[in-house]
Structure 1
Amino acid sequence: MRSRRERMAELVSAHHADLYRHALWLTGDPALAEDLVQETYYEAWRSLSRLGGPRSPRAWLLAILRRRLARHRAAPAPPTVPVEALAELAAGDDPEAAAELEGLARAFARLPDTQREILLLRALHGLSYREIAALLDVPLGTVMSRLSRARAALLAAGSGEVHAAEVVPFPRRRAPRGGKDG
């Protein structure tokens, strides 16, 4: 049987990069993103015995991160979005890629919070529509419509040089009818 410390170390090792990227994209602030991730791990450590059952560890950690972000946003000062920092972080030394990513990041920052979060959960974390619906406590149809609107907004914001496949790498299939998700 693994110790509590070993279980937590495995969670951090497996999910830290994803949690940080998710927090960074939602806040636009590297320091705040790191703080939120650390608070997430602190809460996870305190609640480690609750992990299990059908919920995946990543979905559980994302739910904690989401609550932490909601608490932060309820505070008096609103978060800022330094878009240039996101583009530099993602593009490295390629100025052309940085310019494209900056445009995408600006379009992403203009999305409503609800669309931005669903887009991240699907594109960055690969959660299914059902997992997203459960995590956000919204109907499956709401997830699909918000995701569709977010994709359309990003495509509309793209320049002539940015192709749809470069903007967001989503599969081009539709979710089957009858409540099943893809």
Structure 2
Amino acid sequence: MIIRSSTRIPRAIVLQLSRPAARRTFLSGSSAPANQNRIFDNIRQPNDLHTLTLLSATNNRPLITLWSASWCSTCQTVKPLVKGLIEDERVGEAEGGLAFAEVELDSTLIGDLGVKYMITSMPTLLAFSRQEAQFDTKLVKPELMKNKEFLREWLLNEARRGGRAGGGGGSLFGGLFGR
């Protein structure tokens, strides 16, 4: 593949390619499991989100996004809960896997991405399946996001969707206000 100097490669992809592969034990002759959960670098501009939704759609793996800001204390409480369930407890791997990325709404390069995806409060958890935002299952209530068992079940339901369409359109009010 030839890359021209004017082509911009999203930071998340560059960092993923430059990291050494994680050491895991596999059966002989096998490759990395397709259902392994993935944690990506933070999204700081619209192209990063587009790249990750495309990558997740290619793998039939829902992308879970946490929309937050550095000054949001509730976001800083929710983030380790979500990451811990996905990365440490591997919630969703048995159902086909999940991908996770945080969207930094206070990034100067993020543009109107929050408006495009109807982010009306922080933190917000929004899943993408086949590059479609799943507005019907959007989580906006911090008390639900802080409930580890509720969060686990929400993640499992998104993983069961398996990157398939469903819930993308939703009703106007369901899409605007979420759960």
- TM-score, normalised via structure 1 length: 0.31
Structure number with bigger Rg: 1
More strand by share: 2
More helix by share: 1
TM (normalized to structure 2)?
Answer: 0.31
Instruction: Return the structure number with greater relative CO, CA threshold 8 A, min gap 6.
Output: 2
